[in-house]
Each structure stands twice: as structure tokens, then as C-alpha cells.
Amino acid sequence: MKLTKDQINDIKEQQAQNNKTKRVTAPELEKILYEALPALDHGFIRVVDYMGDDSSIVQSARVSYGKGTKKVSTDSGLIKYLMRHWHSTPFEMCEIKYHVKLPIFIARQWIRHRTANVNEYSARYSILDKEFYLPNKENLAAQSIANRQGRGEVIEGEQAKKVLELLKSDAERTYHNYETMLNQRYDGTTIDENKKGLARELARMNLTLNTYTQWYWKTDLLNLMNFLRLRADHHAQYEIRVYADIMLDTLKRWVPITYDAFMDYRVGGTEVSAKGKIVIQKLLNGEDVNLTDSGLSKREWNELMEAFQIKDKIV
């Protein structure tokens, strides 16, 4: 990731602010506020604003006047209870805003989470940066045979080299044509004084999906955790998972008690259906139970066995 001098100066100016407030703050999050945290080759995530902390969740749950209780252990117990029993509204009382630079194809996947306020960089108004995402060789993989939306074995050797060359050449060629249609180069200079440039809203349409875009993404804590539960999972696409992992760290800095409960009950925990519960009860009682008699599909059965690491029962 490379920032321009103007971007670096803007960040320094933001971090140099010394505003007084009566609102609660998260000291660990304050340490990285406004900082551009690198993601992929040219991307980043910045926390630019937030509201509330763990005590705000407790305050909301109890509808009290002040912060939470004096004892962290008591607040922790309540937050764990809320998480364990899926009480959602207290977590909606905290909000966070990120500035994200990401490839367009990841932005289109990300926007499927429709529970945030988003304002994206306008290619109708400004010229997009000449930056494209190119994966590392270890992240070039063939289509998975078992999963239609996933990756299989890593592509290596000459084939990997050829794929990277195609990605790079296609991106550079379309960006060159983008500049030609605009009649304006990336640095702002005019290409031909005697020609008119095509409208930016039209010229942008031939750009490749690995071109970088930027947006501000504001959401509440509940929906941030819903996003991270899916996108920080090992099944998620690698590129969006990179961003989710960085956001997990900001979650830990912001609301550490909630983070621990989230990792315990949402990330590390598992959901069991009524039929699955009967299967586990029978296994605990030493009874013989199999897929045929369980009433579960093969996929449900295997997911249940994997969740409880009963490997000899996987079929």
C-alpha cells in the first residue's frame, strides 16, 4: 500500500487533533484512529469515527442513566448473556465508521450486506486511481470441483505466470483506453487539446473489476458482528477475509468484552438443530446412531460431526 503525500498529511492532521469530549472513548481504538491499515496490495482500512463502548451496551440493556456497573466482571456477564441469548438491540447502540479502499469486485460482494450506510468514491465526478489488485501466486487457485463459489488447488508454474500477465495487461490496457476516452491522463494533464473528453460516467464502464475504489462504510456493532461472522470465516473469499481480519482487530480494540463474547459464542460456537441435539444426546448416552436414522441430510450430519470433532462418524 502506498499513500500520496496529501493522504499522509491529511492523516497526520486528523491524528494531531486534540478534541475534548464528555462521551465514552475506547483508548486502544484511539491509538489507531485515522491510521491507514494496509490490506491486499494497494488497499487499506481506516477507522474514522465511532460511538459508544462496552459500557454503552450495558447502559442500553439496563436503560440506566450512567455507564455500566463499577465491576467489569458484572458487565462482562451481562454482555455474554446478551450474546448467548441473541439479544440484539443493545449492540445496535454502538456505531463505527470505516474508510475503505478495496477492489471493485470485492466492493460488489461487500455491498450485499445491506445494513450499513455507504458513500462510495464517485467515478462520475473524479478520475479513478490507476491502481489494480493483482493476487499473489499462492492465492491463484483453480475452480473448486465441490464448491461452485470457491477455490480449489493452487495454480502454479507457467499457468500462474500467464494468468498474472493477463490480469495485469488487461487492467493496464483498459485504463489506458479510459484515459484516452477522458482525454485526460491519471496525473490530470490533457492528452489532446483539440479533442473533447468523453463524460466520466461513460468512460468508466470499460474498467476491470480489479480496479480500486473507496468508500465510507458506517454500521452499528450488531451488524458489524454479523458481517465479520461471515467474512472472517475460513470459507469466505480470501480477499474480503483480509479486510474482515483487520476489522476484527479494530473490534477487539473498540469493545474488548463484546469481542471476547463474539469470538466465544458466534465464531467459536456452533448451532445445533433439534434433530442434531437428539443425535448428540444419544452419542453422549453411548447409543449407536447413524446418518440413516438421524433424520439429517448428509451435509447436515457431516457438519454436526465436524463441529464436535467426531471424525469417525463423518460419511
Q: Determine which helix (DSSP H) or strand (DSSP E) holds 226, and give its type and residue range.
A: helix 221-231
> 31 Cβ partners below 8 Å, 6+ apart?
253
Q: What is the DSSP letter of 132?
A: B
In the beta sheet, which residues pair with residue 143? Answer: 151
Evaluate the CA torsion angle 285, 288, 293, 297 in order and state its sign: positive
Please state the φ and ψ torsions of residue 183, each to the nearest 5 degrees.
Answer: 60, 35
CA distances from 224 to 79, 160, 167 (A): 16, 35, 32
Count Cβ neighbours within 10 Å for each residue of 228-238 and write b for 16 or more, e otherwise.
beebbeeebee
Q: Give yes or no: 231 in active site.
A: yes
- Choose the catalytic residue: 46, 200, 231, 253: 231
Catalytic residues: 231
